[in-house]
Amino acid sequence: MKKTFKCEVDCANCAAKMEDAIKKIEGVVNARVNFMTQKLILEAEDDMFDEILDKAIKACKKVEPDCEIEA
């Protein structure tokens, strides 16, 4: 399953760190955090998608605590 979310991120460097952190989560097929469009594209296993999304949000908050992802 592949979904796009609005993702408020402050800089391109933070976006790259978030992307790397999300890609390390088990079950993630691919992830892209785009600073310019303020979007997160998450591709993950269908049966675990909601659980993976929660982990991805937590990973992003570790990089940038004021990051907002609208799920």
Residue 17 belongs to domain with CATH number: 3.30.70.100
Count structural domains, the chain: 1
pLDDT score at 32: 97
| 55-66: burial string, b at 16+ Cβ within 10 Å, e else | bbbebbeebbee
2: CB partners within 8 A, 6+ apart = 41, 42, 43
pLDDT score at 44: 97
User: Percent helix, strand, coil in the chain (nearest 5)?
Assistant: 40, 30, 25
pLDDT score at 63: 94
- Whether pLDDT at 30 is above 80: yes
Which neighbouring-strand residues pair with 12? none
- Whether pLDDT at 71 is above 90: no
CA angle 13, 43, 34 (to 5 degrees): 25
Interval 49-68 mean pLDDT: 95
